[in-house]
Amino acid sequence: MNKRIPVIAANWKMYKTKDEALEFIFAVNGNVPERSQVESIICAPAILLNLLVKREGEHLRIGAQNMHYADEGAFTGENSPAQVKTAGADYILIGHSERRSYFGETDKDVNLKMQAAFKYDLTPILCVGEQLADRESHQTKHVLDAQLEKAFDKIDASKAVKTIIAYEPVWAIGTGKTATPEMANDTIKEVRAKVADLYGSEIAQSVRILYGGSVKPNNIHELLKESDIDGALIGGAALESNNFLVFTDAASKK
């Protein structure tokens, strides 16, 4: 089995103006590790994608945070997979808990977006995660298994192996609460086991699985020491360029 290349993905959410985005990319562009060591990704608002792609260096890549699953159509305010692709993005966040909870995205929507991502040669960063009530009632595995089964419906193995999965316990996003490294690793092992159930152990051992949820510069090293955590999807803490470089440097040492 080839070594899984770590991934650091910054989710900018609805932050940064044009000038702030330019300041950030100029600060990090020449300072991230080589792509053979770490996949360093900025998932930016759609309106900033082309601006960033034009300035991405050899080792930095840009992703989008959302897209519609239709090729085109009368969906005011949405962006199509083709528009995301031709803006120059290489990655697409799919199924983030904020999309599910604030905008009513369903498991069916997630699956349709997965299919659309592969149709347009975009690498999906598939987000899965449980609510606090699920964790406390010992339903985490059941919830994650169901999300994974539905997300990967009609996705064949040759595509599934390219997916990056981000495990984000919903109770730890933006709350300051973080799953312990051991807890995160144990849950990610369960996610990997479910991928093995769906596609076999070889593919499961190749898929990168990230942790997300109040990741900070002071806990990234401990998280990345764990066997099955292949990187991180980071929100607020990755809005600072210096922090982003701390995260990518930590990943390069995994």
pLDDT tens digits for range 52-63: 999 999 999 999
To the question of pTM greater than 0.95 for the whole model, the response is: yes
Distance CA 17, CA 130 (A): 32
Which residues fall within 8 angstroms of residue 175, CB to CB, at 6 or more apart? 214
Residue 172 confidence class, pLDDT cut points 50, 70, 90 = confident
CB 145 within 8 A of CB 194: yes
Specify the pLDDT at position 42. 98
Specify the pLDDT at position 178. 73
Helical ranges in the chain per DSSP H: 18-28, 49-53, 81-86, 97-103, 107-119, 132-136, 140-151, 157-160, 181-199, 201-206, 220-224, 241-252
**Which of 87, 38, 89 is closest to 59 using CA atoms?**
38
Average pLDDT for the chain: 96
**168 annotated active-site:** yes
Distance CA 224, CA 245 (A): 15
Q: Give, in degrees to the nearest 5, the angle at Cα 122 between 79 and 97.
A: 65
**96 annotated active-site:** yes
Which residues fall within 8 angstroms of residue 86, CB to CB, at 6 or more apart? none
176 assigned ligand-binding residue: no
Domains of the chain, CATH where assigned: 7-252 (3.20.20.70)
Specify the pLDDT at position 119. 98
Asked if residue 175 has pLDDT above 80, the reply is: no
The catalytic residue among 96, 98, 105, 130 is 96
85 assigned ligand-binding residue: no
Amino acid code (one letter) for 73: G
12 assigned ligand-binding residue: yes
174 assigned ligand-binding residue: yes
The catalytic residue among 39, 98, 130, 168 is 168
Which residues fall within 8 angstroms of residue 4, CB to CB, at 6 or more apart? 205, 206, 207, 208, 230
Asked if residue 131 has pLDDT above 80, the reply is: yes
Distance CA 33, CA 17 (A): 26
Q: Lowest mean pLDDT: which of 38-42, 82-86, 168-172?
A: 168-172
